[in-house]
Amino acid sequence: MADTTIKISEEARDRLRQLADERGISIRALVETLATTTPTEAERRAAVERNLTHVAAANGVRLTEADLERGRKAKASLSSLAERR
């Protein structure tokens, strides 16, 4: 394993400690998990393309960028409603 040092604020360090403690793991394990499981932008785009291909094959419908944007807005609206409760 490689040793790496990063400089972050005390607040960020304390938050990492809290998140790690809540999961029963070390900060090192938390950061490693984040780095190895968070998809890159390219991976997210590839997943969207796979999903769009699946939807088209399964339903005979090809979603457009406008369809996706309407979905994003609907999701944001639902999230906003949930936060107010």
Q: How confident is the model at residue 83 (pLDDT cuts 50, 70, 90)?
A: confident
Quote the pLDDT of residue 73.
Answer: 96
In order, the DSSP letters of 43-65 are HHHHHHHHHHHHHHHHHS----H
The residue behind tokens 């769009």 is 52
Q: Is the dihedral of CA 51, 57, 60, 62 positive or negative?
A: positive
Ranges of each domain in the chain? 41-84
Measure the CA–CA gap between 60 and 51, rounded to whole angstroms.
13
pLDDT at 80 over 90: no
> What is the tens place of the pLDDT at every residue in 16-72?
999 999 999 999 999 999 999 999 999 999 999 999 999 999 999 999 999 999 999
Q: How confident is the model at residue 84 (pLDDT cuts 50, 70, 90)?
A: confident
